[in-house]
Structure 1
Amino acid sequence: MTEAGASDSGQLTLRRLTARSVVLSVLLSLHPPALAVRDLVRAVEMFDISESALRVALTRMVAAGDLERADHTYRLSRRLLDRQRRQDEAIAPKLLPWQGDWDIAVITTTGRSAADRAALRADLDLQRLGEVREGVWMRPANLSQEWPPHLDSQIRRFTGRPNEDPQGLARDLWDLDGWARAAEELLALFGEASRRVDRFTVTAASIRHLLRDPALPPELLPSTWSGPALRSACAAYEAEFLALRATAVHPGATASTPRASTAAE
């Protein structure tokens, strides 16, 4: 749906709302992520998206492998279940007390194609590791997360303590100042967004941005870090969005507020 990005002027830009993005947002907010088509129709109507546009989007999403259909119910595909998990973790990362150790991943496979190298880099980036040099990735050992099994045959993992200043190392691995500036812009957009569609798109862009948060220990972050505030803003909107969806799908019902995520294409 929406995505944070830099325009030519350097300002944060948001992409337009689509039927596909609203469908993903609704399903990503559900555990399990499945909903009848009649309920999806009511949900997208909140954002002035027609039933015909929805049905075209559903057909294309099934063909693309984004959704699976059973009778009149649509659910996220297995591939997007992993995306749901990552987005849940982006808003509420499982942090551990940091004792000063770093997780280190060394790529051991050779002779890989360019596509395979790019896929492995993307996987390590999703694990919130930073690249020290080609083939060597690391991050502070403060994050509890599952490692995809397919990585075990391509890397070796170690734990160690670098000799250099950990704050300086963190700044070398991640553009913390740039991330913080974008987060501040998103928080400002939250404050300016009064229309339902605007709040929806800002939240989606914020979740995309939170996926890029390295989730570092407080000791390694700049003194003014907007990560917690951005997560709180997203969580507040999620409760609002779930209430709106529940009202649209079941008029008169009171919505609960389970763990939710909003889609960002």
Structure 2
Amino acid sequence: MSGSTVTLTAAPALTTRSVVLSLLLGAHPGRLPARDLVAMGEEFGVAPATTRVTLSRLVAARDLVNDGATYSLSERHLRRQAAQDEALAPRVGPYDGSWTVLVVTATGRDAASRAGLRADLRRWRLAELREGVWMRPANVATPVADDGLVTLRSYPDDDRALVAQLWDLDAWVATADELLAAADPSGPLRDRFVANAAIVRHLRADPLLPTELRPDRWPADHLRSVYDDFRSELTALRTEEKT
């Protein structure tokens, strides 16, 4: 691409809140001086006063913790950062043809409990075959702790057909290609910031399939590389702001 602008079809608006949280989620550890956050906000066209007000609101909402002149992610967002880090560097093992199957056996859960369990199952890249039956290839750990689940091991006759039933891989690749175009290094910083934030979200939906079950072209590693490069660019930019 030669600097053309690509519009993401489902990207959220870039707000001061999203800038601050994304910068902290990309920092290790998840804490930055106020001066860095204010200076980086200016790179995205945010007035210093607006960033300071946003920081105060994030602290009041318990999204951030303020320690003098430094702001840190709250416990909730530290968990979010851990999930983000796992998406960027997933632990994937060998595939022996077996699948993990989790069957929901508990009844009478309230809506919040059901939603929490479904979120956990999706976070560990399981897909729902039918109501209450979740599964995936057994090449990644599925540490979902719940007394209302029964764990089984299966060996499908046609694992490729099962993959096609559980995941829309063509749609995942199409979105990945859109994100890669939007994150082109020659584009405006603001647009690339939005695109790279969307890359992280998209990687959290990577089913982490074994190589044998993926399409011939699977751009997940390319997405991770692009995001790593952009995170390094932001780190360098923060360093330049200090000098």
> TM over 0.5: same fold?
yes
1:157 to 151, 155, 177: 151
Structure 2 unpaired stretches of 5+: 1-6
Distance 1:180 1:14 in 2: 17
Alpha-carbon offset, residue 113 of structure 1: 1.6
Distance in 1 between residues matched to 2:78 and 2:153, nearest whole Å: 30
Aligned mates of 1:186, 1:37 — CA distance in 2: 30
- TM-score for the superposition, normalised by structure 2: 0.90
The answer to whether the 8 A contact 1:100-1:161 is kept is: yes
Match of 1:183 among 176, 181, 189: 176
1:141 CA drift (Å): 1.2
Q: Kindly report the root-mean-square deviation, in angstroms, between the aligned alpha carbons of the 2 structures.
A: 1.9
Alignment-derived partner of residue 79 in structure 1:
76
1:129–1:137 CA contact under 8 A, matched in 2: yes
Q: What residue is the counterpart of 2:129 in the other structure?
A: 132
CA deviation vs aligned residue, 1:160-204 (integer Å, no higher than 9, x gap): 322x31111111111111111111111122238511111111111
Instruction: Give the match's secondary structure for 1:191.
Output: coil
Instruction: Within 5 Å, give how 1:90-129 maps onto structure 2.
Output: 90-129=87-126
Offset at residue 219 of structure 1 (A): 0.7
- Identical amino acids, percent of aligned pairs: 46
Is there any run of 5+ residues in structure 1 with no aligned partner, and where?
A: 1-6, 252-265
CA deviation after TM superposition for structure 1 residue 154, in Å: 3.0
User: Contact 2:184–2:192 at 8 Å: present in 1 too?
Assistant: no
Task: Tell me whether 1:239 sits opposite 2:232 in the alignment.
Answer: yes
Q: Distance in 1 between matches of 2:160 and 2:183?
A: 30
Q: Which residue identity is paired with 1:196?
A: L
Question: Secondary structure of 2:28's partner?
Answer: coil
1:137–1:22 distance in 2 versus 1, CA, 3 Å: same
